[in-house]
Amino acid sequence: MKKYSLETGVGIFMVIGLLCVGYMTVKLGKVSLFGDDHYSLYARFGSVSGLRVGNPVEIGGIEVGRVEQLTIDQEKQAALVQLKIRKDVRVYDDAIASIKTAGLIGDKYIKIEPGGAGEILKPGGSITETASPVDVEDMISKYVFGDVGKNGKNSKKEEK
């Protein structure tokens, strides 16, 4: 009788352990099993250089979603970004989405400047106002090779 109670205790301990491992896998993997508490929005950018699937989406410095998918819109020749936004967050149709860099050389993320004067975007809606990231490499190469002021007022040729 004592032998069976020990085996039963070990079995219950193993089941609880496996349930805990399963729960942590779902939570840490950001997998949803019983329903999705997010909705999709889309934004078109001229360039999504450095942006990856899984990068955060922020409003006011608070993470409200993730980049779900990156594709190309062949008709408009632009990068189409699918965003997964929490259901409790409202995004208006006059919002502005821009790609920013966390720190000097950090990962990219999408920053949404909330609107408020327009209507609330429905799931599957599009943010029409977007801003592509600044290409730091292009700016550095222009500075190094002296192309900074060729079209502007700071050009040495215009001063002479």
- pLDDT 10s digits, 107-117: 899 999 987 77
Largest Cα span, the chain: 103
Distance CA 66, CA 60 (A): 15
Quick one: pLDDT at residue 140?
A: 81
**Mean pLDDT throughout 26-45?**
77
Enumerate residues 6+ apart whose C-beta is below 8 A from 136: 101
The tokens for 103 are 């720190």
Is residue 157 very low, low, confident or very high in pLDDT (cuts 50, 70, 90)? very low
Per the CB < 8 A criterion, the answer to whether 93 and 60 are in contact is no
pLDDT above 70 (res 127): yes
Domain boundaries along the sequence of the chain? 1-34, 38-142
Quick one: pLDDT at residue 35?
A: 59
- 6 vs 40, residue with greater confidence: 40
Mean pLDDT for the chain overall: 83
pTM, full prediction: 0.67
Task: Please state, in angstroms and as integers, the Cα–Cα distance from residue 117 to each residue in 88, 111, 114, 141, following that order.
Answer: 19, 18, 10, 40
**Mean pLDDT throughout 3-8?**
80
